[in-house]
Structure 1
Amino acid sequence: MQQIKGAILKARLGFVEQHWGRAGLDQVLAALPDDDQRALRTLLTVKWYPFGIGERLDKAIVDVLGDGRTEVFERLGAASADANLSTVHKQFLTPGRPHVFLGKAPAIYGFYYETGRRTYEQTGESSGVLTTYEAETFSAPDCLSVIGWYKRALELCGVQNVAITEDECRARGGQVCRYQVRWQNAPAA
């Protein structure tokens, strides 16, 4: 069974509390089964948790606070990048060298997911492809949070106008989750 790190779940809960306050967080938690509520109230960022808890949390966020709109997950991914790449995973950032940063995708993936793998292939001076293979579980909200996370991470590396589109997704019947990544390099100072 696919598992995810508590850091992913903690970032989602932090995002909810930051944007909707403690009352919003309490509403989301109340929409979850008792076992999930207990697990989420005692999260450890380094512990592995069943992917299903994350799926149910994502659904509760969309249903309770997102008015049924899943776009909230791209914002959530960006907030997670801000939180994690300014602290525990800061060493992944490579200012001015986006391809070097994206080349670390396999290692970054391993910090957050227990099964599967992610690769990066450079396709141009300011473009590339991230592909996730063999993840036991997947969801459209998780893919949106990946897009938001990488967009923000690339901005933290100093590039501009980042655009990421998922042209194949396992949640929509694809064989892999593949993300086309493009950006503009910042003008030289």
Structure 2
Amino acid sequence: MQQIKGSVLKTRLGFIEQNWGREGLEKVLGSLSKEDQEALRVILTVKWYPFEVGERLDAAIVRELGGGRTEVFERLGAASADANLATLHKNFLTPGKPHVFLGKAPLIYGFYYETGRRTYEKTGDQSGVMTTYEAETFSAPDCLSVIGWYKRALELCGAQGVAIHEDECRAKGGAVCRYQIRWNGVQTAG
């Protein structure tokens, strides 16, 4: 059974409250089963939780707050990067070196997901491809949050004009989840 870290769920709940207030959070939680509500009331960031709890939370966010649109998950991914890369995982960042940061994709994946693996391959001076293999569970909203997370993380590394496109997705019938990544340049701290 695929599991995700509590930090992923906690970030989602924090994102809801920050953008829609306590009322929005209660609306989402209230739409879930009693079991899911209990699981989400007290989240431990280092504990593993069933992926399905996160999947049902994602569906509730889209249904209750997103007006049926999943684009909200890119914003959620960016907020997660801001929260986690400013504190818990700030050592992953490599200012001025996007390829070095992206080379840590396999390690980063292991901090958030229990099964499967992720690779990164440099394809040019300002481009690369990141691929997720063998994840037991997957969802389109989770892939969108990955895109938002990596876009924001690359910006925190100094990359400018970041674009990420998922050209194959398991949630849409693909064999893997593959992300084409490009940026226009790098601003170095000075």
Q: TM-score range by the shorter chain?
A: over 0.9
- How many angstroms apart in 2 are the aligned matches of 1:30 and 1:59? 13
Match of 1:109 in 2: 109
Q: Cα distance, 1:185 vs. partner?
A: 1.6
Q: Name the structure 1 match of 2:126.
A: 126
Query: What letter corresponds to residue 153 of structure 1 in structure 2?
Result: A
User: 1:135 corresponds to which residue?
Assistant: 135
One-letter code aligned to 1:160:
Q
Q: How does 1:10-159 map to 2 (within 5 A)?
A: 10-159=10-159
Whether contact under 8 Å (2:96, 2:158) holds in the other structure is: yes
Distance, in Å, in 1 between the alignment partners of 2:24 and 2:70 is 17
The Cα shift of 1:187 comes to 5.1
In structure 2, distance between residues paired with 1:124 and 1:10: 36
Distance in 1 of aligned mates of 2:122 and 2:74: 23
1:22-69, CA deviations, whole angstroms, 9 ceiling, x for partnerless residues?
Answer: 000000000101111011011100000000000000000000000000
- Helix, strand or coil for the counterpart of 1:114? coil
Question: Tell me, which stretches of 5 or more residues in structure 1 are unaligned?
Answer: none
Check the 8 A contact 2:160/2:187 in 1, yes or no. Answer: no
Question: What whole-Å deviation, never above 9, does each CA across 1:163-183 have from its counterpart, x for those lacking one?
Answer: 000000000000000000000
Q: CA RMSD in A?
A: 0.8
Cα distance in 2 for partners of 1:106, 1:96 equals 20
Aligned residues with identical type, % of pairs = 77
Which residue pairs with 2:180 in the alignment?
Answer: 180
TM-score in terms of structure 2 length: 0.98
Matches of 2:55 and 2:75, distance apart in 1:
17
Q: Which amino acid in structure 2 is aligned with residue 14 of structure 1?
A: G
SS state at 2:82 partner: helix
Aligned length: 189
Distance 1:75 1:138 in 2: 19
Letter in 2 for 1:164: I
Q: How far is the alpha carbon of 1:186 from its aligned partner?
A: 2.9
What corresponds to 1:161 in structure 2? 161
| Cα 1:187/1:146, change in 2 over 3 Å | closer
TM-score (norm. length: structure 1)? 0.99
Q: Which runs of 4+ in 1 moved over 6 A?
A: none
8 Å CA contact 2:74, 2:148 repeated in 1 = yes
